[in-house]
Every structure is written in structure tokens, then in C-alpha cells.
């Protein structure tokens, strides 16, 4: 099946430069108008804007003005919008709990005051509040753990910063709509399963029985200390990773780490589970192909963009959105003096991100083929520029 993909380029035409139609606000309004988004929203619908708030030290995350504009569009259509995320795996990062992550979001200007919409952590305070979902025709996961906050939601707008997953790595998985809806909508359990082999194990010769691993375990019966050694009860362990992060002696480790290719299979399966919870027809996916770097927004440090800004890409299908964005980025010239030189992908048409077999896995699991028709968004109206 071929999906419509709407494209609002970053570059300015002569008209764009002479009036307000070239602003970020108008580009977003234009692409949502062309996709007839308002027809998908009914009065009173709960609309989740799912994104990645980003690490406080990362300055290439999506700007508040993008979210604020989308919130205005949703309200005008009659919906009730909120900005949402899930916690991160483990306990030593800015996403370790709902409290920590909401606080981190303020570093990027994301507050209820600036957005005029609440910020919600979908998987609960500790990141383990989810619903178990069976995945038919899966790649590797028979079941997944989708954040409970998505249950009962009428529509999801996925807003993703298009980028790479690992710096200085070609053939890596891209981080865009599929990752936002797969990894980004699962609990800590699902994030662990996507990256590591279960179970978590205690290396007894390293463990001194300090009990720090007990302090932030969300399931009291999942870990205990006896005879001076920690022991993990696999029956109750949710694989949140808090104990692993807190162990000062690194005595708790996963059984193994997944390859980049296997991670892509998990992303596909987790995305299928998310779509199943809300309904595949109830998604709109917007990729922001601005500040395109090779590292994830979860990183606390910045690289520099490897290609010029490309624009906004929107589709109701996450596979088509990511496929079209990847093609547009690969067609763009790389920026000399950046990682594009080291990765030998400066010339237009050279692959900036190969993504290995991501789209092949999507097709094999019945998620989609990535076939699309690219439609350049055109202004239907130019309303007053309001904030």
C-alpha cells in the first residue's frame, strides 16, 4: 500500500522570504492543513503528542515553538492535547523517574506555562506501569509492554527529531517515528528487552552485599540480599535496570547486549504493539528533519549536523514517514568538516544513514513496506501569525 507523505521543505522560496509563509509556525500549519489533520479529531478527543524531551545538555532537540503550534492546531480542531514521554532505562540518567524527566524538560523550555498543555509521563513514576500486549506476526517479541498512559487515547501525534542512533556509525538504526513509537512508548521492561538479553544477573564475586540495589527497586520482592550477596528473583523482576545503575561495584549486568540489527527488529515489534493499543488509524507522524546529527537526543553532548536542514515530513504511517525522510536526507549534500566527511557521505545521494535492514523487518512483520507518494505541502491559507 502506498501512503501519502507530505513534505514542507526547510529552504525558503522567494515568496516564503517575502511574507510569513516561510516561518516554522506556518510550515507546520501548512503541512497539517494539507494532510487534513483536523478531520481526524473530534470534539473532546484526548490527543497525545508523543516526543522525546531530550537530555538537558543536548541543544539540538525540537524547539517549544513546534509543540506549541501543534497544540494550537489540535485545540482548534476540538481536541485536548498533552505532551508525553516515557522514562528511560536504569536509574543514572535524566529519564530515571517521572520527577527527574519532567524537571529535565524544563531545561528545554517545555513547561505547562510555555506550551499551554500538560506534560505527562506515560509509564508512571518509576517507568514500569504498562499493559502487556500480544504481537502477532512478530520478528522477535511475542509480547510487549506498552505504557499504560496510552490506553484510551483517541489520537497520537508522533513528533520526532530525525537523527542517527549512534555517532560515527553507518548502517545504524535511525531514530525517528518508528523508534519514537516503539522504544519511546514502551516501559523500562520493553527498553531492556530491546537492548539486552534477559535476565539481569548478579556477579557474586563482585557483590559485597551493600544493599544499594534495593533502594530504588519498584518491586520489593524482586531482589534481596542474603549471606552477603544480592539475589534477583526472575519471577518478579521487571528488568527496569535501577539496581544495575545503582550498584557501585558493577556487580549486576544483563546476560548480553543486542546487535544494532537485532535492536531494529525489536523497534518494529514494539511499534506494532503501540499501534495495536491505540489503533493504527489513529496516528499522525511528523518528522522534524532539522539539526540532523548522528547521535540520539538522549545523549548529554552535542555533535554537529551532518547535512543542512531538510524540512518537515508528515504521514499517517510511521514506516512511510521514516522511509521518505531517510530518502530526502540521503539525497542531500553532507556538510564538509563534519562527521559526513569521516563517514564518506558528503556527496548528494551518498547514504548518510543506511539503517541496515529496518524497513525489511517492517515488511516482514506486516507493519508496512515504506512505499510512499511524496507531496509537497502548499499553503491553503496564511492566517495571522499568533503565539
Domains and CATH numbers, the chain: 3-191+261-376 (3.40.50), 193-257 (3.30.70.20)
* Whether pLDDT at 385 is above 50: no
Cα-based distances in Å from 191 to 145, 241, 257: 9, 10, 12
Please give the backbone phi and psi of residue 172, each rounded to the nearest 5 degrees, phi first. -85, 170
| Range with the poorest average pLDDT among 69-78, 165-174, 199-208, 311-320 | 165-174
The torsion defined by the Cα of 78, 21, 375 and 318, in degrees rounded to 10, comes to: -50
| 68, three cell numbers | 506549541
* Whether pLDDT at 34 is above 90: yes
DSSP 129-158: -EEEEE-TT-SS-SEEEEEGGGTT-SEEEE
8-24: string of b/e by CB count within 10 Å (b at 16+)? bbbeeeeebeeeebbeb
Helix (H) or strand (E) holding 25: helix 24-34
CA neighbor of 300 nearest in space, from 77, 58, 15: 58
Instruction: Quote the pLDDT of residue 62.
Output: 97
Instruction: Quote the pLDDT of residue 348.
Output: 94
Check the CA dihedral 191-196-199-202 and report its sign.
Answer: negative
A 10 A CB-CB count for 357 gives 15
Residues 193-205 have a mean pLDDT of: 96
Whether residue 126 contacts residue 189, with contact meaning beta carbons closer than 8 Å, is answered with no
Q: Can you name the residues that pair with 83 across neighbouring β-strands?
A: 49, 119
Give CA–CA dist 57/53, Å, rounded: 11
User: What's the count of helices (H) and strands (E) in the chain, helices before strands?
Assistant: 12, 16
Give CA–CA dist 114/132, Å, rounded: 34
Radius of gyration in angstroms for the set of CA atoms belonging to the chain, rounded to a whole number: 21
- What distance lies between CA 373 and its chain's CA centroid? 24
**pTM score of the predicted model:** 0.94
Check the CA dihedral 350-11-55-321 and report its sign.
Answer: negative
What phi-psi label fits residue 366: left (phi over 0), alpha (psi between -120 and 50 degrees) or beta?
left
Give CA–CA dist 71/77, Å, rounded: 10
CA neighbor of 93 nearest in space, from 58, 64, 50: 58
Helix (H) or strand (E) holding 323: helix 318-331
Q: Any residues with CB less than 8 A from the CB of 182 and at least 6 apart, and which?
A: 194, 266, 267, 268, 269, 270, 271, 274
The torsion defined by the Cα of 260, 163, 325 and 360, in degrees rounded to 10, comes to: 0
Whether residue 69 contacts residue 30, with contact meaning beta carbons closer than 8 Å, is answered with no
What phi-psi label fits residue 356: left (phi over 0), alpha (psi between -120 and 50 degrees) or beta?
left
Q: Any residues with CB less than 8 A from the CB of 93 and at least 6 apart, and which?
A: 55, 245, 298
Whether residue 87 contacts residue 104, with contact meaning beta carbons closer than 8 Å, is answered with no
Instruction: Give the pLDDT confidence of 279-335 residue by residue, as tens digits.
Output: 999 999 999 999 999 888 988 887 899 999 999 999 999 999 999 999 999 999 999
- What distance lies between CA 221 and its chain's CA centroid? 31
* Whether pLDDT at 354 is above 80: no
- Name the average pLDDT for the chain: 92
| 100, three cell numbers | 527527574
Residues 182-192 have a mean pLDDT of: 97
Confidence of residue 22 (pLDDT cuts 50, 70, 90): confident
Whether residue 336 contacts residue 286, with contact meaning beta carbons closer than 8 Å, is answered with no
CA neighbor of 283 nearest in space, from 274, 291, 292: 274
| Range with the poorest average pLDDT among 104-108, 195-199, 227-231, 356-360 | 356-360
Instruction: Quote the pLDDT of residue 208.
Output: 97
Amino acid at each position: 500500500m502506498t501512503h501519502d507523505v507530505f513534505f514542507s521543505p526547510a529552504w525558503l522560496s522567494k515568496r516564503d522570504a517575502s511574507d510569513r509563509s516561510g516561518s516554522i509556525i506556518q510550515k507546520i500549519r501548512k503541512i497539517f492543513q494539507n494532510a487534513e489533520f483536523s478531520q481526524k479529531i473530534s470534539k473532546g478527543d484526548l490527543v497525545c503528542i508523543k516526543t522525546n524531551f531530550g537530555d538537558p545538555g543536548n541543544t539540538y532537540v525540537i524547539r517549544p515553538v513546534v509543540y506549541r503550534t501543534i497544540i494550537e492546531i489540535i485545540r482548534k480542531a476540538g481536541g485536548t492535547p498533552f505532551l508525553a514521554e516515557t522514562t528511560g532505562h536504569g536509574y543514572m540518567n535524566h529519564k530515571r523517574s517521572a520527577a527527574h524527566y519532567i524537571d529535565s524538560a524544563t531545561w528545554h523550555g517545555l513547561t505547562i506555562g510555555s506550551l499551554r498543555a500538560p506534560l505527562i509521563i506515560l509509564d508512571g513514576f518509576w517507568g514500569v506501569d504498562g499493559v502487556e500486549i500480544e504481537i502477532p506476526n512478530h520478528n522477535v517479541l511475542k509480547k510487549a509492554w506498552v505504557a499504560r498512559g496510552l490506553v484510551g487515547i483517541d489520537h497520537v501525534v508522533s513528533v520526532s527529531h530525525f537523527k542517527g542512533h549512534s555517532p560515527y556509525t553507518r548502517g545504524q538504526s535511525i531514530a525517528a517515528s518508528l523508534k519514537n513509537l516503539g522504544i519511546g512508548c514502551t516501559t523500562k521492561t520493553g527498553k531492556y528487552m530491546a537492548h539486552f538479553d534477559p535476565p539481569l544477573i548478579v556477579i557474586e564475586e563482585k557483590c559485597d552485599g551493600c544493599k544499594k540495589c534495593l533502594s530504588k527497586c519498584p518491586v520489593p520482592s524482586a531482589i534481596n540480599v542474603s549471606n552477603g550477596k544480592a539475589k534477583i528473583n526472575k519471577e518478579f523482576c521487571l528488568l527496569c535496570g535501577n539496581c544495575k545503575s545503582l550498584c557501585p561495584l558493577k556487580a549486576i549486568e544483563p546476560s548480553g547486549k543486542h546487535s544494532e540489527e537485532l535492536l531494529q527488529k525489536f523497534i518494529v515489534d514494539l511499534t506494532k504493539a503501540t499501534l495495536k493499543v491505540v489503533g493504527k488509524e489513529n496516528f499522525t507522524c511528523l518528522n522534524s528533519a532539522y539539526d540532523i546529527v548522528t547521535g540520539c537526543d538522549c545523549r548529554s553532548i552535542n555533535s554537529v549536523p551532518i547535512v543542512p536542514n531538510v524540512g518537515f515530513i508528515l504521514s499517517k504511517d510511521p514506516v512511510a514517514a521514516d522511509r521518505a525522510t531517510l530518502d530526502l536526507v540521503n539525497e542531500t549534500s553532507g556538510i564538509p568538516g563534519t562527521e559526513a566527511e569521516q563517514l564518506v557521505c558528503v556527496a548528494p545521494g551518498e547514504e548518510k544513514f543506511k539503517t541496515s535492514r529496518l524497513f525489511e523487518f517492517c515488511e516482514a512483520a506486516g507493519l508496512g513496506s515504506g512505499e510512499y507518494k511524496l507531496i509537497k505541502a502548499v499553503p491553503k491559507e496564511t492566517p495571522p501569525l499568533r503565539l
